[in-house]
Amino acid sequence: MGLIAWEGLGVPIYTYGLVVCAAVVLGAACAWVSVRLRHERTAPLLDLLVYGLPVALVFARGGFVLHNFAQYANSLVEIFCVWHGGLSFYGGMLGFFLTVLGYSVVHGVSAWRWLDLLVPAFILAVVVHELGIFGMQLTMGTPFPADVPNDHTLMEYIEYRYRPMGFENMLYFQPIALYQAGLQLAAFVLVSLAACIDAHRGRRWPAGCLFLFGLGLVAAIRFGCGFFYLNAHPETLLPLGRLLSGGAVLAAIIFFVARWRSRPHFYY
C-alpha cells in the first residue's frame, strides 16, 4: 500500500491514518460488544471514547515526536503539523489507558474493571494495526539469503527502493508484522474466551487480572518478535521497543501475581 491513499483539496490522506482509524472503529465495536455481554451500561464507554480519543491523538503525536526528535529539533513548529504525518500507535494507546484511569478516579468507578472490559478491544486494534504495517511495509524483518529457493517459505518481498542501505541485494525479508498480527490474533481469541468463561462463571478472576493477562501476552509477543526485526543499529544491545515491551511483560507478571494472591480483597 502507498504511504498516501489519495489527496483531497490538496490535503494528503495517509494510508497509515486510515489504518489507525480502522483499528479505532473495530476496537470500539469490540468494546461495545464486551460491555453489552457483561451487562454494563454503555454510557461510560461513550464517555471514554469522547474523552480518550483526543487524548490518544495527543499522546500518539507526542510519542512519535519524542522518538524522532532529531527531525523536529530545528523546526519546533513542525511538531504541530499533524497533517504532515507522524503518529505513534502505542503512544496513543498509552494516552487512552491514562484516560481510563482518570475517568475512573473522577467518576468513582473501578479502573481495573473497565480495563478488563476493554482489553479484547485493545488487542484487536493491535491486530489491525500490525496488518496495516505489513501492507505498507513499514517494518522489516531480518533478510533471507538472496539465493533462497521458491519453496513456498513465508517471506516478504521488498521493492528495491524500499530496501535499507546495505541490504540492496536482499530480495526477501521476514514478514515480521504479519507474524505479530497472527500471534496477536491468537492472543485476542484466547483473552476473549477467558473473558466469556469468566463472565459465565460469575467473575472468578480478580479485578484487573484479565487485563494484565492480555497485556502480558501482547508485550511478550512484541518482545519475542523484536529479535527478528531488521536492526538498523546493531551496536545497540537492547532497542527501546524491546526494552519497553520487556518491562511491560515483567510489570504485568508482578501485578498479576500480586492481585491473584490477594483475590479475596480485589473483586469488582
User: What is the residue-level pLDDT of the chain in tens, covering all 268 positions?
Assistant: 667 777 777 777 788 888 989 999 999 999 999 998 888 889 999 999 999 999 998 998 888 888 777 777 777 777 777 666 677 888 889 999 999 999 999 998 889 999 999 999 999 999 999 999 998 888 888 888 767 666 667 788 888 777 878 787 888 888 999 999 999 999 999 999 999 888 777 667 888 999 999 999 999 999 999 888 886 555 555 677 788 899 999 999 999 999 888 765 554 4
pLDDT of residue 174: 87
Q: Which residue in the block uniquely carries the three cell numbers 474466551?
A: 193
C-alpha cell at 238: 537492547
Q: Are 138 and 131 in contact (CB under 8 A)?
A: no
Which residue(s) pair with 13 in the sheet? 6
Residue in 179, 260, 178, 184 with CA at minimum distance from that of residue 216: 184
pTM of the full structure: 0.86
pLDDT of residue 88: 84
pLDDT of residue 223: 93
Cα 229 to Cα 119: distance, rounded to the nearest angstrom: 26
- Whole-Å CA distances, 76 to 61, 71, 80, 87: 13, 9, 8, 16
Contacts (Cβ under 8 Å, ≥6 apart) of 59: 88, 91, 92, 94, 95, 96, 98
Calculate the CA 115 to chain-centre distance: 15
Q: Are 194 and 210 in contact (CB under 8 A)?
A: yes
Question: Quick one: three-class SS letters along 116-136?
Answer: HHHHHHHHHHHHHHHHHHHHH
pLDDT of residue 202: 66
Cα 122 to Cα 215: distance, rounded to the nearest angstrom: 9
pLDDT of residue 142: 86
